[in-house]
Amino acid sequence: MSLLEIKGLTRRFGGLIAVNDFNIELGERELVALIGPNGAGKTTVFNLISGFYQPSEGSIRLKGKDTKGLRPHQVTGLGVARTFQGIRLWSEMHVLDNIRIAQHYRLGYSLVDCFLRTKNYMLREKAIDDIAWELLEAMGLKDCAYELPRNLPYGVQRRVEIARAMSVKPSLLLLDEPAAGLNSADVEGLIKLVRWIHDTFPVTIWMIEHQMKVVMSLCSRIKVVDFGTTIADGNPEEIQKNHAVIKAYLGDDTI
Amino acid sequence: MITGGGPIPEVPARFVLRRGLARTHPRRKAVPRHAARKHHFKAKVPLVEIFQNILNALQFGSFYALIALGYTLVYGVLRLINFAHGDIFMVGAYLAYFVAVTLLGIGGLNLGLHMDPGLALAITVPVTMILTALVGVTLERTAYRPLRRKGADRLYVVITALMAGLVLENGNLALLGASRKRFPDMIDKVIWNLHGVTVTNLKVIVIVASILVFLLLQFIVTKTKIGMAMRGISYDKFAIPLMGIPLDTIIVVTFVLGSAMAGLAGILFAMSYPILEPYMGALIGWKAFIAAVVGGIGDIRGAIVGGFLLGFIEIGVVAVFPSTLRDLFAFSVLLIILWLRPTGIFGVAQTTKI
Amino acid sequence: MQKHVATIAIFAGIILLVLCAQFHILDQYYISVLMFMGVNVILASSLNLVNGYMGEFSCGHGGFMCVGAYVSSICTVLMFSKNHILGAPLLPPQFAFIGFPLALVAGSAASSVAGLVVAIPSFKTRGDYLAIITLAANYIVISAINNMEIIGGPRGFMGMSATERAMQSMLDIPWVLIFVLLGTVFTVWLLRRFVSSTLGKGVPAICQDEIAAEIMSVDTNRMKLIAFMLSSGLAGLAGGLYAQVLGYVNPQSFDIMRSTEVMVMVYLGGMGSLSGAAIAAILYTVLMEALRFLDVWKWVVIPLLLILLMQFRPEGIMGNKELSDLFPKLRKYYSFK
């Protein structure tokens, strides 16, 4: 059974068709990219998967379970984590809290537990803390655990956002333009980080990215969309030679 | 049947329940005793009564609409709930009072004037509107602008507005004392009787004024350059100055317009209900604000629709139930509207892009 | 040991205050100011959960307080006092010291159910529109009670002092003061435990970025439900205590003016700071009493002070910091976060 199976996914906003008949099947531990010109509907696909939008047509199945009608936090509970195009950290809370809060779906204690500080509460909070510290340590963020995200450099904020997504212990990680706004040194770091995550955790990573360097050096499979429609799907070499892709990116006349 | 101005249809005597009809048909048929005893039962109302109530609702709705326009204008431009606006309306009514008594020579500043009431009114209206606008602009300059300059959170401005309203209310109370003021009669009351529906000239003035103000503001906001700038600010306060548009001027104009309308509402209200007291602005202001939100705050049409809607709900409730239930029903209906349509009637939901 | 220092200090303080009241070291005026302080601390810290931590603008806290005040007053009057409509007392006075807290619980429960009126629309809407819903809720509560003749309508409702007498007939100690102080400590304790847990931190997450919160697995609807119901329930507790302190309630004392007062306390103290809210509530109560000589001008001076505060220190006394952030040494005894 595949991890993610999307069939005939379509999303319309009024007259605009943002995503048109999108299909994909992802297995375990894949590293896939979704590329395409601006406004091609890439982020909409991610929003549909994470439950932020409901599809107009088509189905999304996660580990065989249809996600139709689920609210975003429920989808996350099924093991989908994501980052955002513009960084969306909780800016007034320190990094550690950011990572703790993302584990909300497996709190495992009730409000009463929380008031009475029962044994269950203590155990669960400890587990949450342990996971958070482990991740911070592994991702080299231990020193800024008590910093507010807005005081951190942009590149570090990206790392924190990825760490927050990883604290969900996802089986599918969606990265929405992780390299946007990073300088070349940070991009190198990001490539290393993503590769490390892919090697260390049992997770399928699916990223939207414009920087071809990142895409080509990381991904084994690339899907190209334009105007909501898939125009190509294949490994990096195939995509580089694909005429439809070149046309979409560079226009007709250049060739 | 409703639109026709012809004779009103025969109403069975047992429906003759309230004074409106009884006056026009002076006991054509003797009202049976038991019907008279059922006086409190007001559920079935004759047509004349309905017209009378519609007229009253329009009048009341006009006040709400005029005040709601001020809320909505400022909100539309600054995304600021100007909680002091209801009190600016109160200040407008008091200013109108002082200008009027001064001009009529029955109080206020003793200038030795004894003007003809009509002339006095003609002067009072613009002078009050200007003075009220000045109050609004002063508020903007002393309280809101410094905060805006500092880039303070919207919330702090809202708190400031709330507090400024309290200062106006209680400052008035402290300065003028708790005694109520009686607004002098400025126009001769003319009562037309249209088939039993009593129409006073004042009611007509109020309703017409509110509609004219609405049309004027709608024109300013949608058709003029300054209106375009106002709408622009509401989208992006930071880009507007970069486009060479004087931000502060536009905001001052907004406050001038909003406060002048509150001043106008103050005069009209004082003429219709001539007893003035410092807290008169608070409740009517809150209600008008709710009306503006129900209409969809930031939208001029919303203010008018919300204001009249509130007027109709209130008068409708009073026509059927005891008048003490007015607020309960009015607010419940508004709450239900907001439950069903969280952004109000004309409001557009803000979408967030991620 | 150090862990318990704060707890011991708090309870020692309570006992000290109660002893002062018992042996008339503090006169009745100071005791009642103290009780209002307690009520205000409960109000401010509970509203802080919604207006501070969740970043909503609820301006109808007085309405929830009103529900709590009336429900618990009716319960106590039913149980322990003779009322011309509600009849003779149902329970003998010996039960008063159990019955009273139960009445408070009933009042809090009722007002937290009333909080649903605001909580449910908050799923779909926020910001200014939600502010209006809270405002309308406040008005609805006030005018509903104004129209209930059976509990006195606009004239108000009384007879709660019988409960105090009943409790004192058992043991002559300042019962109401004790309950107010315990209620205050309970509120702060409850809220602190909530906001310092990972569960409770979902609330500021909604404030700072609701979309990120929802997508990063925070059940925002549930959090909103908890926050609104907890906040309004505690407001109900404050209302119940307030009614008992005064021995008399009328709907006008819970109108927008009251809600505004509570908001003033929250923003004076600093949003999202529990100790800030408590300090501000105490300060505000003192200020109100100290400025009593100004008479009508008091209500001009206090708003002006707040306007100045907004100009020069808009984040309030504490900002979003807690006492332990400002005085790290305190952390040894008591951690706020």
Enumerate the residues of chain B whose CB falls inside 8 A of the CB of residue A43: 354
**pLDDT tops 90 at residue B23:** no
Asked which of A14-28, A155-169, B228-242 is least confident by mean pLDDT, the reply is B228-242
Q: Give the torsion sign (CA, A76, A80, A86, A89).
A: positive
Residue B39 has a pLDDT of 46
Nearest to B153 by CA among B203, B79, B67, B42: B79
Residue C337 falls inside a structural domain? no
pLDDT for B26: 38
**pLDDT reading at A252 higher than 80:** no
In chain A, which residues have their Cβ closer than 8 Å to the Cβ of C212?
A: 84, 88-90
Check whether B13 has a pLDDT greater than 50.
Answer: no
Q: Is ipTM beyond 0.85?
A: yes
Whether the pLDDT of residue C255 is over 60: the answer is: yes
CB C23 within 8 A of CB C29: no
pLDDT average, residue stretch B176-193: 83
Which secondary structure element, helix H or strand E, spans residue A115, and what is its range? Answer: helix A111-116
Mean pLDDT of A43-62: 93
Q: Which residues of C touch B76 (CB under 8 A)?
A: none
SS3 A27: coil
Chains contacting C (3+ CB pairs below 8 angstroms): A, B
Q: Which tokens is C15 given?
A: 């006992």
Token digits for A195? 């590769």
Q: Which residue is it, tokens 């980052």?
A: A83
Mean pLDDT of C50-79: 93
Residue-level pLDDT at C335: 56
Q: What residue numbers bound the domain in which A159 lies?
A: 4-250
In order, the DSSP letters of A47-67 are: HHHTTSS--SEEEEEETTEE-
Minimal C-alpha gap between C23 and chain A (Å): 35
Q: What is the structure's pLDDT at A51? A: 93
A125 touches chain C (CB under 8 A): yes
Residue A35's H or E segment, with its range, is strand A31-35
pLDDT band at residue B50, thresholds of 50, 70 and 90? confident
Distance CA C215, CA B319 (A): 50
Closest by Cα among C282, C292, C286, C290 to C317 = C282
Tell me the pLDDT band of B21, cut-offs 50, 70 and 90. very low
Among C193, C215, C221, most A C-beta atoms within 10 A, so best to mutate, is C215
> Is-contact A59 A6, C-beta < 8 A?
yes
pLDDT(B155) > 50: yes
C-beta separation of B234 from B300 below 8 A? no
Which chain C residues are within 8 Å of B335, Cβ to Cβ?
Answer: 117, 133, 136-137, 140
C306 touching B (Cβ < 8 Å) = yes
Task: Please enumerate in sequence order all residues whose Cβ is within 8 A of that of B52, keeping only pairs 6 or more positions apart, or say none.
Answer: B20, B196, B197, B198
| CATH code for the domain in which residue C56 is found | 1.10.3470
Contacts of B336 in chain C (CB under 8 A): none
Query: With b meaning 16 or more CB within 10 Å and e meaning fewer, what string describes C137-163?
Result: bbbbbbbbbbbeeebbeeebbbbbebb
Contact A40, A229 (CB under 8 A): no
Q: How confident is the model at residue C41 (pLDDT cuts 50, 70, 90)?
A: very high
> Which residue out of B153, B351, B354 would a mutagenesis test of the A interface target, given it has the greatest number of A Cβ atoms within 10 Å?
B354
Looking at residue B89, what is its pLDDT? 95
Model confidence over C137-156: pLDDT tens digits? 999 999 999 999 888 888 99
pLDDT exceeds 60 at position C248:
yes
Is B328–C147 a contact, with Cβ atoms under 8 angstroms apart? yes
Q: Which residues span the domain enclosing C45?
A: 2-332
- The predicted pLDDT at position B12 comes to 37
What pLDDT is recorded for position C334?
61
Output the pLDDT for position C16: 92
Q: How confident is the model over A144-150, as a mean pLDDT?
A: 92
User: Taking CB atoms and an 8 Å cutoff, what residues of chain A touch B354?
Assistant: 43, 47, 52, 84-86, 88
A contact chains, 3+ CB pairs < 8 A:
B, C
pLDDT of residue A5 exceeding 90: yes
Contacts of C190 in chain A (CB under 8 A): 115
Is the per-residue pLDDT at B28 higher than 70? no
SS3 at position B344: coil
SS3 for C130-197, per residue?
A: HHHHHHHHHHHHHHHHHCCHHHCHHHCEECCHHHHHHHHHHCCCCHHHHHHHHHHHHHHHHHHHHHHC
CB C310 to CB B325 under 8 A?
A: no
**Between chains, do C217 and A165 touch, taking CB under 8 Å as contact?**
no
**pLDDT bracket for residue C173 (50, 70, 90):** confident
Look at residue C155 and tell me if it is in a domain: yes
Q: Which residue of B has its CA nearest to C140?
A: B328
User: Which chain A residue's Cα is nearest to C217?
Assistant: A73
CA–CA distances in Å: residue A185 to residues A141, A182, A194, C89: 17, 8, 14, 79
How many structural domains is chain A composed of?
Answer: 1
- Asked whether the beta carbons of residue C204 and residue A90 sit closer than 8 angstroms, the reply is yes
Residue A231 belongs to a domain: yes
Exposed/middle/buried for residue C22 (C-beta within 10 Å: 0-12, 13-18, 19+): middle
Q: What is the mean pLDDT of chain C?
A: 89
Q: Which residues contact C307 (CB under 8 A, 6 or more apart)?
A: B143, B160, B163, B164, B167
N-to-C CA span, chain A: 42
> Are the C-beta atoms of residues B267 and B93 closer than 8 Å to each other?
yes
Q: What are the structural domains, with CATH classification, of chain B?
A: 18-26+45-340 (1.10.3470)
Q: How confident is the model at residue A130 (pLDDT cuts 50, 70, 90)?
A: very high
Question: The domain spanning residue A132 has which CATH number?
Answer: 3.40.50.300
Q: How many CB atoms lie within 10 A of CB B326?
A: 18
Crossing angle, helix C128-146 and helix B326-340, to 10 degrees? Answer: 150
Q: With a cut of 50, say whether residue B101 has pLDDT above it.
A: yes
CB A97 within 8 A of CB A148: no
Between B157, B286, B293, which is nearest C128 by CB? B293
Contact partners, residue C19, CB within 8 Å, separation at least 6:
C25
Mutation target among A73, A125, A161 for the C interface, most CBs of C within 10 A: A73
Domain membership flag for residue A14: yes
Residue written as token pair 């007259």: A15
| A87 interfaces chain C, CB cutoff of 8 Å | no
Question: Does residue C212 register a pLDDT over 90?
Answer: yes
Listed residue (A180, A85, A201, A77) closest to A135, CA to CA: A201
Angle ∠(B187,B193,B198) on CA atoms, nearest 5 = 70
The 10s digit of each residue's pLDDT in C74-130 is 999 988 888 777 778 888 888 888 899 999 999 999 999 999 989 998 888 888 888
In a domain, A255, yes or no: no
Looking at CA atoms only, how far is residue B200 from chain C in angstroms?
31
CB atoms within 10 A of CB A177: 20
Average pLDDT over residues B302-324: 90
A158-193 pLDDT per residue, tens: 999 999 999 999 999 999 999 988 999 999 999 999
pLDDT averaged over chain B? 81
Is residue B11 classed as helix, strand or coil in its secondary structure?
A: coil
Q: Are A100 and C320 within 8 A, CB to CB? A: no
Residues 6+ apart with CB under 8 A from C147: B324, B325, B328, C153
The whole-number average pLDDT for the span C237-265 is 92
- Say yes or no for a CB contact (<8 Å) between C121 and B170: no
